[in-house]
Structure 1
Amino acid sequence: MLKRVFVAPDPGRIRLRFATRAVVGIGLAVVVCGLAGLSLVGAITGGLAALLALFTVTDPTVRGQAVTTALLPAVGLPVLAAAAGLHDHPVARDLTFLAVTGAGVYARRWGPRGHSLGVFAFMMFFAAQFLHATTDRLPEHCAAVVLSVLVASAVRFGLWCYETQLPPAPVPAPPAGAGLDRVTTRQAVQATVGAGFALVVGQLVSGERWYWAVGATWWIFVNTVSRGETLVRGFRRVLGTVIGLGLGLLIAVPLHGAGAPTAALLAACVFGIFYSAAVSYTWMMLCVTLLAELLYGLLGVLSPGLLALRLAETGVGALGAVLAVLFVLPVTTHAVTDVWIQRALRCVHACTAEAAARLAGSPAADPALRIAELEHLLGRVRLSVAPLVHPLNPMSGRKRRARQVLALLDDCARETRGLVAVAADPEASHDARLTAACRRVEAAVEALTGGTDHITHTPAPPATEPALAHLHGLEQALADLSTPLRTPPGSPLVGA
């Protein structure tokens, strides 16, 4: 798990900058809340709001990110007010929480902005339960949210704005449809049913910490589409929570909320959440769990019994998500995975074309942006195929084919990155053979994405030029992909 986090490709050090900026932005937000005279609870509210503002906003342009960030308080504050107002009315509170859950998932149909606003709305209701927000403390909570979003925005768009143009956000883009044919509608129903189960059973386990179960169900549904993805994500959430609780017993409990070491560990957890989010959900959940334990330590309520309760509630939430995706309007992985593989292959071709244009002297060509997009798409492919390559999957044939596809896609990405690196060299020159090789890559991608039964591939002679060598390697990887992707209908590559 550690190897996956720290050895995974990080083009342009995007993940490193993402995580470091988060620590700066959230740290400054908490400091500003303190200087404004807010209490510890208010500072925690502000830190959470800043974390969400920096983590969930994934619009493809900086302008779009700014608009979405500005809308966060407009969506979150009414939800926070509703949660505080319903604090002493459990039935109305629970029904409202389920409505917010369903609406938050349904909002994904409007793309990254809808996704971000839906997550923020849910987390404001969740935070109200976590911090026992009541109407008398509502002004402080609202002030903390507004202040922290402003500070996070100042860091993201002023102090440290490294984005110029980003690739499409790695938020699921399910096929279009109407009614229950639309994936987001199905998921909204699933999430509401799963959260309802978690809420009822979670309250039987604990009348005070039941919201942990609802939160576990919610976060299992985030950034998943098919039931296979959701099942694997549920397993990883439980695994990350278990490991995080073990670390909490060793680290958080002995600290007893001591200020300086707790603050340092909180910063490390924030860095870990942001740095690992794109490559390891288990590792991210480990950091989230430890962060929550440290916050409970600051609030003076952390104990081994509380950690055991969190594990139980997480299990309830995971079970709710599993039951919902298995029995309520299930979405299979076959079509979803096929869409992401095709997008990744088309992005490989786009990277190749941009690199060739760059080598030909075009100043407008910028293959680096395409490489970042390719990494996002490959991440989506890995998420979709994860149920097939999971150690607990008993279907060995499908597992082998899935691993072969992932390995060959990684080969494509490696050769593409090498080609882009060569194209970035100002002394690299264009060769007529590059044009022919790029055309063969285009034909191979069209064959794979257009349903052609096979790819005609003639091994190229060894190339001494780096760009041509990478193109030949890419051609071979695409040709090899034809076999696992063109399996008989009775034994598809994906299907859960």
Structure 2
Amino acid sequence: MPHSPLPEKQAHRRWRLASRLATADPGLIRLRLASRVTLTVVLCAAALALSHQLAPLPPAAYAVALTLAIQGAVAIRDATHRHRLATRVVCGLAGFAMLAVVSMIASEVVLVDLVFLGVAFAAVFARRWGARWNAVGMFSFMSCFIAAYFRPSPADLGAIAFALALSGLIADVVRDRLVPDRPAADLRRTLEAVDQRIAAVVSILRRAHRSGWTGDLRDAALAGEQRVKDALITAEGQLPAPTGGSQAPPDAATQLSIELFDLHLAAETALAAGLGGAPGDEAASARLMAALDRLARMRLAARQTAAGLTDEILDRAVAATPPGAAGAALPVWQDPTFRLAAQVTLACAIAMVGGSLVSEQRWFWAVLTAFLVFTNTQSRGDAALRGVARAVGTAGGIVVGIGLATLVHGQFALSLGFIAAFVFLAFYTLQLSYGALTFFMTLGLSLLYGLLGSFSPGLLVLRLEETLIGAAAGVGVAYFVFPQRTEAASGKAADAFLAELDRLLAAFADRRRGEGSAWRLVAVTQALDRRHAEIVAALRPLDSGWLAGERRRMVRRGQLRFTVLAYWAHRLAGASEGVMPIGSEDETDATLNACRAEIAELRRRRSDIFHEAQTVSLVPPDAASARADPAEPDAAIAIHAIRHILNQVMGSRTGSAEEAKPNVESALSTKTDPSDKQPARFAG
């Protein structure tokens, strides 16, 4: 009987689908989160349905179980099962305490509202003590939220305790038994995604090398490099957090962190070499081939190191990672967490009043929106974007939900399937778009109302009205009470970046003198990358499309300069093992000290980094024209590049008036088209 090619084709299609999924979602982090939430909700609903056949529970118990099941899957993020279990118990006790308190004062409407606002304040203020207390705060707020709406009686507390315990048990089993973390396999899967993204960039570079660069190819290369960077950040996040101070020989996890840094640098160098060449330029071609060879070596080294990692090694490394140092104590009224808690409480109070005027039964939608508008925000611009995203997502979900609920009316099984799918999609897109999360959750709620027999277009329109009230309350408070301007938030992020750049120069100097480890230098560089990501996040409201003209160009100009500074910082760190060909030791130290002094000056004038560049001319080091291997990092050129950018920004006229050599000066250009978010070419 002839062999059928069908199974092979199906296997190939499955492999391609898995490959695309891994490339789009490195480490399958979003897939795992969505699967956990969906499975937790489905199992919890099934258990409640079975329980209902034996002994019906009060409505508050069902709401508590399903709502806190989602919180248990999302909010509890401790590193080990033991710590997660402890957090889950504390969260459950805190949630039950809130439900018990409200049940005892349910007849005192004003008192219940005051307790609700007090819990909102405490839930936000608790974030200052870390992830565990953030989770406890969310459980407390959502429990108080449910209690304020359903007003359970003390007689309901036994059933509520059962529902709480049931949801917590199911969430724990799903998290650590059914959909557990598999650190080593997850890391290798992430590195496969890194490798595929690098391969895509290499393919673009080779194509451009053969036929020349076009605008589309250049954009694709820059976008591909950003995707490589995103995947590498995901991989680094799966390794133990760097401490930066250890002098001990690196273990396998630490060694992989160093190799991922080298891989990141090699990818940037290859892109720089490719973008910097012209058709027929043999020197540029040699630089590109050398850079691609080095990149291939780095890819192989990372794969080999990752192959030797096990779950036990990574679990030990995570457990051994010390907690971060606490920040300096501030007076309570100056504490950012206190100010945020005050903002959230006031916004909830305004939403409570405004929502009650529209509906005395559904005001909780407005309060929930006002509370969530401030989640993961750094500035009032962030709050505005989040408020708009929630309003738009709700509106879109209502429009589609009305039509869908009408189509599937009376089809119980189909409605349940759609609800499960929408929960999955909501949390799969959580890290990509808050608006998408809101859209899919609104669709799910539309169908849920249909199953409960309370669906009507008017109810969904009321939800939109309450959402708009809550969003307006949150954004209004963010703008006028303890306002954190986007410019101030981005200024703080810029200052933190420059401080980390100064630390990198100090670590480089220590490494040259034999007083520091390569691991410390990598740790500081990774911290610099995190500061760079914080700048991008802080500037997001200013680059969201609301602004036009010169101000938006200023934002992109600043983003470009930080990107180029980060690139040259990588080059400098990568050159720490080589000889610094600047001259004498004294001259080397003088160059480093001058660069650090310029960083200190720019920290005092950090807003200048967004302004038009001044023409400056620094003489590049002699080593720039005599490179043994153009693909290898060179400390002399890296420091010169950093100083050049700093002096451009500050408008200094330091250095010689002689024109810098073309091959270095052109690489340091920071001119960009206003429509570009990335540099026209990497400095390299």
Provide TM-score, normalisation by structure 1: 0.74
Q: Secondary structure at the match of 2:167?
A: helix
The correspondence for 2:395, drawn from 242, 259, 269, is: 242
Q: Say if 1:53 and 1:134 are closer, same or farther in 2 by CA, change over 3 A.
A: same
Confirm or deny: 8 A CA contact 2:58 2:159 kept in the other structure: no
**Cα deviation 1:37-85 (Å, max 9, x = unaligned):** 4659544432221210121223466654443223110111111223334
Partner of 1:57: 76
Partner Cα separation in structure 1 for residue 38 and residue 468 of structure 2: 30
Partner of 1:195: 348
State the number of aligned residues.
Answer: 461
Confirm or deny: 8 A CA contact 1:256 1:297 kept in the other structure: yes
Partner Cα separation in structure 2 for residue 346 and residue 205 of structure 1: 50
Which letter maps to 1:102?
A: F
The Cα of 1:103 is off from its aligned counterpart by 1.3
The Cα of 1:415 is off from its aligned counterpart by 11
The Cα of 1:212 is off from its aligned counterpart by 0.7
Partner Cα separation in structure 2 for residue 155 and residue 381 of structure 1: 36
Partner of 1:3: none
The correspondence for 2:373, drawn from 190, 212, 220, is: 220
Q: Secondary structure at the match of 1:336?
A: helix
Q: Say if 1:63 and 1:12 are closer, same or farther in 2 by CA, change over 3 A.
A: same
Which letter maps to 1:138?
A: L
Task: Determine whether 1:385 maps to 2:385.
Answer: no
Tell me the C-alpha RMSD between the 2 structures: 4.7
1:477-496 alignment to 2 at 5 Å?
Answer: none
Partner of 2:36: 21
Q: Say if 1:366 and 1:330 are closer, same or farther in 2 by CA, change over 3 A.
A: closer
Which letter maps to 1:237?
A: R
Q: Say if 1:392 and 1:70 are closer, same or farther in 2 by CA, change over 3 A.
A: same
Partner of 1:302: 455
Partner Cα separation in structure 2 for residue 68 and residue 446 of structure 1: 46
Confirm or deny: 8 A CA contact 1:108 1:115 kept in the other structure: yes
Q: Secondary structure at the match of 1:161?
A: coil
**Cα deviation 1:228-285 (Å, max 9, x = unaligned):** 2222221222122111212212223433374322322222222233222223222122
Which is bigger in relative contact order (C-alpha 8 A, separation at least 6)? 1
**Cα deviation 1:144-192 (Å, max 9, x = unaligned):** 2221112211222333134576669xxxx99852121111111111111
Q: Say if 1:245 and 1:380 are closer, same or farther in 2 by CA, change over 3 A.
A: farther
Confirm or deny: 8 A CA contact 1:244 1:285 kept in the other structure: yes
Task: Determine whether 1:145 maps to 2:191.
Answer: no
**More deviation in 401-410 or 218-227?**
401-410
Q: Say if 1:466 and 1:185 are closer, same or farther in 2 by CA, change over 3 A.
A: same
The Cα of 1:474 is off from its aligned counterpart by 9.5
The correspondence for 1:154, drawn from 140, 150, 173, is: 173
The correspondence for 1:286, drawn from 424, 439, 460, is: 439
1:419-434 alignment to 2 at 5 Å?
Answer: none
Unaligned runs of 5+ in 2: 1-20, 184-237, 243-325, 512-516, 582-588, 610-615, 653-684
Confirm or deny: 8 A CA contact 1:61 1:166 kept in the other structure: no
Confirm or deny: 8 A CA contact 2:502 2:599 kept in the other structure: no
Partner of 2:359: 206
Confirm or deny: 8 A CA contact 1:411 1:474 kept in the other structure: no
Larger radius of gyration: 2
Q: Say if 1:374 and 1:153 are closer, same or farther in 2 by CA, change over 3 A.
A: farther
Task: Determine whether 1:256 maps to 2:409.
Answer: yes
Q: Secondary structure at the match of 1:221?
A: coil
Task: Determine whether 1:82 maps to 2:120.
Answer: no
Partner Cα separation in structure 2 for residue 313 and residue 216 of structure 1: 8
Q: Secondary structure at the match of 2:130?
A: helix
Confirm or deny: 8 A CA contact 1:245 1:307 kept in the other structure: yes
Partner of 2:271: none
Partner Cα separation in structure 1 for residue 82 and residue 569 of structure 2: 29
Unaligned runs of 5+ in 1: 1-5, 424-429, 489-496
Which letter maps to 1:316?
A: I
The Cα of 1:33 is off from its aligned counterpart by 3.1
The Cα of 1:401 is off from its aligned counterpart by 2.8
The correspondence for 2:49, drawn from 13, 34, 42, is: 34
1:311-330 alignment to 2 at 5 Å?
Answer: 311-330=464-483
Which letter maps to 2:110?
A: V
1:118-137 alignment to 2 at 5 Å?
Answer: 118-129=137-148, 131=150, 133-137=152-156
The Cα of 1:347 is off from its aligned counterpart by 8.3
Q: Say if 1:475 and 1:106 are closer, same or farther in 2 by CA, change over 3 A.
A: same
Q: Say if 1:89 and 1:404 are closer, same or farther in 2 by CA, change over 3 A.
A: same
Partner Cα separation in structure 1 for residue 563 and residue 343 of structure 2: 33
Partner Cα separation in structure 1 for residue 376 and residue 126 of structure 2: 12
**Cα deviation 1:362-410 (Å, max 9, x = unaligned):** 9999989x97x8997666544422221132236x433223234446667
Which letter maps to 2:551?
A: R
Q: Say if 1:296 and 1:310 are closer, same or farther in 2 by CA, change over 3 A.
A: same
Confirm or deny: 8 A CA contact 1:434 1:468 kept in the other structure: no
Partner of 1:492: none
Confirm or deny: 8 A CA contact 2:568 2:642 kept in the other structure: no
Which letter maps to 1:16?
A: L
**More deviation in 159-168 or 295-304?**
159-168
Q: Secondary structure at the match of 2:360?
A: coil
Partner Cα separation in structure 2 for residue 267 and residue 306 of structure 1: 22
Q: Say if 1:139 and 1:416 are closer, same or farther in 2 by CA, change over 3 A.
A: farther
Aligned sequence identity (%): 30
Partner Cα separation in structure 1 for residue 164 and residue 336 of structure 2: 32
Q: Say if 1:481 and 1:195 are closer, same or farther in 2 by CA, change over 3 A.
A: farther
Q: Secondary structure at the match of 1:53?
A: helix
1:384-423 alignment to 2 at 5 Å?
Answer: 384-393=538-547, 396-406=549-559
